[in-house]
Amino acid sequence: MGCMMNKQKGIRILAVGRALPGKSLSNRDLEKMVDTSDDWIYERTGIRNRYRCSIEDVNTLAAAAAKEAIEKSGIDPGEIGVLIVATSSGKYVFPSAAAMVQKELGLSERILCFDLSAACSGFLYAINAARGLLRDSKKPYALVIGSEQLSRLVDYTDRNTCILFGDGAGAVLFRLSEKEFYHVSFTEGNKEALYIGGIGSDIRYLQMNGREVFRFAVKAMERVIEELLMQSGKRLEEIDHVICHQANARIIQSVSRKHPGLEPRFYMNIERYGNTSAASIPIVLSELEEVGRLQGTTCLMTGFGAGLSYGGILAEL
């Protein structure tokens, strides 16, 4: 590792891609499946629609999102040295989704390539991990993907959970830079609030204590915002976008209300996608890039999920 690389603590995003399944699942569709209503779901969660895989899966969504990012960036894909897929709903136990993306996109075999499991916190953990690995890599680029098919892990007869989740993927291609970058991460070692059994278990579907997760999420994201602002010496007024994991609009509003006047900086697209777990933050990043509002901005990103895990990144992108 050269000394010059050590100075590069930050990241520069070259391009972002996203992929959604072809079929959507609206609140009206769910009304036909469980005892619920469009009004109840929208009022309690802010969700109207989400996507659900039919022919797609975690691997194909991840590859499609990554392909878009690589094509937009114009880089030589052979120069990607690190590839991480954050997912908890992979098609196979092994091989990893990352290995399948490497094959599908014909990337170099000289690549550090693996999946990372940290539920909805996974994408931000993966960005941070890839950034660390890139500092010791001979190749300049990292590809970090959040890809999920939560619909595989949800019981569509359980109205408490099936209304919340959607499938999708987002991919970010970046290199190191000397821009500002701060991060925090926490884990509480809690299984009760959010849990799915492993191979051979009878608990095949997501078990959740919604109220407990709600309370935890608000506190967790408030803590992350406070710590990142303290670390960076910035005020929230200096942050262009606050990107929270999109789990419930009311969770995000509970956090944003603590910052009167700055609520519009808290990005929200949950209405269209539901909670896509590790894919939610990169899908937001792809939407911001599409309208030219990503590169050159300062973003505070914060995620939380099973574990209970949570964390965040404050970075100039």
Mind telling me the catalytic residues? Answer: 120, 245, 275
Q: Under the phi-then-psi rule, with left for phi > 0, alpha for psi from -120 to 50, and beta for the rest, what region is 26? A: beta
The closest of 257, 212, 242 to 303, measured between CA atoms, is 242
Does 126 engage in binding with ligand ACO (CB under 6 A)?
A: no
**Is residue 45 involved in binding ligand ACO (CB under 6 A)?**
yes
Size of the site for ligand ACO (CB under 6 A): 24
CB of 72 to ligand ACO, least distance (A): 29
- Closer to ligand ACO by Cβ: residue 113 or 163: 163
Q: How many CA atoms lie within 13 A of 103 on its CB side?
A: 9
Residue 214 in contact with ligand ACO, rule: CB under 6 A: yes
Our CB check for ligand ACO shows the closer of 176 and 249 to be 249
Q: Which is nearer to ligand ACO, 163 or 224 (CB)?
A: 163
Of 231-290, which residues contact ligand ACO (CB under 6 A)? 247-248, 275, 277
User: Mask 186-205, x = binds ligand ACO (CB under 6 A)?
Assistant: --------x-----------
Closest approach, Cβ 303 to ligand ACO, in A, equals 9
Residue whose CB is less far from ligand ACO, 82 or 86: 86
Give me the 102-121 binding string for ligand ACO, x by CB under 6 A, dash otherwise.
-----------------xx-
Among 36, 253, 254, 269, binds ligand ACO (CB under 6 A): 36
306 binds ligand ACO (CB under 6 A): yes
Stretch that binds ligand ACO, among 13-21, 132-140, 156-164, 225-233 (CB under 6 A): 156-164
Which residues in this chain contact ligand ACO in the complex, by CB under 6 A?
36, 40-41, 44-45, 119-120, 159-160, 163-164, 194, 208, 210-211, 213-214, 217, 247-248, 275, 277, 305-306
